[in-house]
């Protein structure tokens, strides 16, 4: 079998740090080859070497058997290597076509021939089953569509080998299905794909072979048909991993959170939470399942005081929280693991230690007579960093310098440590690897077992079903159904999330 790409014994160092240590990856023509590893294992470094952004210290790269020297991304492009970035590189105010041709414009007499370009874009998109509207503006289309534009960009430039960097991280379950279909079509059309991911399910579903790297070292390449998720996970993490989160049955007590007829508008003034009712009891985890954009973010922001609600009632332990400031709400016993850890969860330019007292800095012993007591602050930080296994060179390092997983562990440590009656976790495992996800789920269940209420919002159905004791489905700003995770299926949830009512969805599962 012919290899289209061979990366042999690649070694890449940054100062004293070895990011890639003797890694070999061989991509066959027409295969989907997964590159699996934890956050920080060196996947992106390896791909950046292939894409010409980094120069390896050792090793050889061959394209179709010929040794090549890829000193910059343009050479990678010429060799037919295209990258679909995790964070899209698109100009919001340009149309789909304008974005695709950017840098490779078809011109006639100094003017861009948009008609011709649109036709070419349409041809490519039809050939590969990538339905897009060439004239739509990027800012008007969904994230899934934007990703298709990224893929089209590489195809337009004649890519034969496509690298997908964590492509499903930002997609809804439906969009993920479509993406997988697209990848299969691409293979049929003779392309080869490297898929960077840490989601085992996707690898099992779509990949032919899988190369695993751990802490910068190549662990090996396996045929996906001969392996299973458990084996892949232990190869990646280096130990056995629990998938089904172990938990005892819930023992719910009194209502902790009771929300009635909550109405919230988004920043544009559109009503996105429209008369929402929900209660969460002590000793249970309630999961909110829903497709992104059905009011989840605004709902959480409203009950945590980050956004003003229009009307309704939010009772915590019988006390009305509606209209209170975020400080008052925090003090009345709500912990909040925010959806966007960079935007809300951390002051990235503060040392990680100082981030550990973000809501308690003004209280004793951290502050006395208006003066901060850094000794106490850093003592607290050290305790939490140890207890929650936050990997950082020291507590004085800026939060910015930590990896996503460790930032998230720090936030969770801080929130859990305040021992809130209600812990709200919005997308707590987004973008994290198996090991970190396992850790976070255990912590959430631990809170529940300590008799606290937990409200979990996630777009990952697996997570919702695994962790929750009850599942509330949100659709267009209302809770449309509350189901028992033991008695539901992904399919039923998917239909409920898409707006079918309970009865139809229930019938759907029986067919």
Partner 1 sequence: MSKRLVNILTPIFAVILGIIFGTIIMLVSGYNPIEAFIALGQGAFGDVYQIGEVVRQVTPYILAGLAVAFAFRVGLFNIGVEGQFIVGWLAAVWVGVTFDLPAIIHLPLAILAAMIAGGLWAFVPGLLKARFRVHEVIVTIMMNYIALHTVNYIVNTKMNQGSSKTAKIHETASLRSEWLSDFTTGSSIHWGIIIAIICCFIMWFLLEKTTRGYELRAVGFNQDAAHYAGMNVNKNIILSMVISGCFAGIAGAMEGLGTFGYMAVQGGFTGVGFNGIAVALLGGNTALGVFFAALLFGILKIGALSMPLAGVPKELVDIIIALIVFFVASSYIIRIVLERFSKKEVK
Q: Which is nearer to partner 1, 274 or 332 (CB)?
A: 332
Out of 311, 327, 386, 391, name the contact with partner 1 by CB under 8 A: 327
413 binds partner 1 (CB under 8 A): no
Answer yes or no whether residue 331 interacts with partner 1 by CB under 8 A.
yes
3-state SS track over 67-136: EECCCCHHHHHHCCEEEECCCCCCCCCCEHHHHHHCCCCCEECCEECHHHHHHHHHHHHHHCCCCCCCCC
* Cβ at position 292, least distance to partner 1 in Å: 19
Cα torsion for 166, 171, 173, 176, to the nearest 10°?
A: -50
Considering the complex, state which of residue 135 and residue 362 has its C-beta at the smaller distance from partner 1.
362
Contact 428, 408 (CB under 8 A): yes
Confirm or reject binding of residue 94 to partner 1 (CB under 8 A).
Answer: no
CB of 409 to partner 1, least distance (A): 17
Q: What sign for the dihedral angle of Cα 80, 81, 86, 87?
A: negative
CB of 85 to partner 1, least distance (A): 24
Using DSSP bridges, classify how beta strands 255-265 and 192-197 pair: parallel, antiparallel or unpaired.
unpaired
Q: What is the DSSP string of 327-388?
A: HHHHHTTEEEE-S-IIIII--TTSBHHHHTTTTTTTSTTTEETTEE-HHHHHHHHHHHHHHT
Compose the 7-26 pattern: x for residues touching partner 1 by CB under 8 A, - for all others: --------x-----------
Stretch that binds partner 1, among 217-225, 283-291, 336-344, 479-487 (CB under 8 A): 336-344
Which CB atom, from 399 or from 473, has the smaller least distance to partner 1?
399
- Please count the other Cβ atoms lying within 10 Å of the Cβ belonging to residue 271: 15
297-326 positions binding partner 1, by CB under 8 A:
304-306, 325-326
Name which position in 124, 180, 204, 358 contacts partner 1 (CB under 8 A): 358
Q: Considering the rule CB under 8 A, would residue 106 count as an interface residue with partner 1? A: no
Kindly write down the DSSP assignment for every residue of 221-246, as one continuous string.
EEEGGG--HHHHHHHHHSS----S--
Q: Are 264 and 273 in contact (CB under 8 A)?
A: yes
Rounded distance between C-alpha atoms, residue 434 and residue 233, angstroms = 7
Choose between 319 and 328: whose C-beta lies nearer to partner 1.
Answer: 328
266 binds partner 1 (CB under 8 A): no
Measured from the CB of residue 139, what is the shortest distance to partner 1 in angstroms? 21
Tell me: does residue 53 bind partner 1 (CB under 8 A). no
Residues that bind partner 1 (CB under 8 A): 15, 304-306, 325-328, 330-331, 336, 338, 343-350, 354, 358-359, 361-362, 367, 370-372
């Amino acid at each position: 079998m012919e290899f289209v790409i061979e990366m042999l014994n690649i070694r890449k160092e940054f100062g004293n740090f070895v990011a890639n240590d003797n890694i070999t990856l061989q991509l066959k023509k027409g295969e989907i080859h997964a590159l699996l590893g934890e956050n920080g294992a060196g996947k992106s470094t390896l791909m950046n070497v292939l894409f010409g952004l980094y120069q390896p210290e050792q090793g050889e790269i061959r394209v179709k058997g010929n040794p090549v020297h890829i000193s910059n991304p343009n050479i990678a492009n010429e060799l037919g290597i295209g990258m679909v970035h995790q964070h899209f590189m698109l100009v919001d105010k340009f149309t789909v076509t304008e974005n695709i041709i950017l840098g490779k414009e078809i011109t006639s007499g100094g003017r861009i021939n948009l008609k011709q370009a649109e036709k070419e874009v349409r041809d490519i998109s039809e050939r590969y089953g990538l339905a897009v509207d060439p004239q739509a503006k990027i800012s008007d289309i969904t994230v899934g569509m934007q990703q298709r534009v990224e893929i089209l960009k590489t195809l337009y430039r004649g890519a034969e080998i496509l690298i997908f960097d964590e492509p499903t991280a930002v997609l809804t379950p439906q969009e993920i299905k479509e993406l997988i279909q697209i990848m299969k079509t691409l293979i049929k059309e003779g392309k080869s794909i490297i898929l960077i991911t840490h989601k085992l399910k996707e690898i099992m579903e779509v990949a032919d072979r899988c190369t695993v790297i751990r802490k910068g070292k190549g662990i090996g390449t396996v045929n996906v048909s001969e392996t299973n998720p458990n084996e892949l996970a232990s190869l990646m993490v280096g130990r056995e991993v629990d998938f089904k989160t172990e938990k005892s049955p819930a023992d719910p007590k009194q209502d902790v959170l009771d929300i009635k007829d909550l109405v919230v508008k988004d920043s544009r003034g559109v009503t996105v939470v429209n008369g929402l009712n929900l209660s969460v009891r002590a000793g249970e985890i309630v999961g909110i399942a829903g497709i992104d954009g059905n009011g989840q973010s605004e709902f959480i922001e409203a009950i945590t005081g980050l956004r003003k609600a229009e009307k309704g009632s939010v009772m915590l332990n019988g006390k009305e929280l509606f209209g209170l400031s975020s400080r008052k709400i925090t003090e009345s016993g709500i912990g909040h693991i925010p959806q966007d850890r960079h935007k809300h969860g951390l002051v990235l330019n503060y040392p990680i230690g100082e981030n550990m007292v973000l809501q308690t800095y003004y209280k004793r012993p951290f502050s006395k007579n208006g003066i901060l007591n850094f000794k106490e602050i850093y003592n607290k930080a050290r305790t939490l960093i140890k207890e929650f296994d936050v990997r950082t060179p020291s507590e004085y390092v800026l939060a910015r310098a930590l990896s996503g997983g460790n930032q998230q562990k720090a936030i969770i440590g801080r929130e859990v440590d305040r021992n809130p009656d209600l812990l709200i976790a919005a997308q707590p495992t987004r973008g994290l690897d198996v090991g970190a996800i396992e850790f976070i789920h255990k912590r959430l269940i631990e809170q529940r077992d300590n008799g606290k209420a937990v409200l979990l919002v996630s777009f990952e159905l697996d997570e919702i079903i695994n962790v929750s004791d009850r599942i509330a489905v949100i659709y267009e700003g209302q809770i449309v159904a509350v189901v028992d995770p033991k008695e539901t299926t992904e399919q039923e949830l998917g239909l409920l999330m898409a707006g079918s009512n309970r009865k139809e969805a229930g019938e759907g599962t029986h067919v």
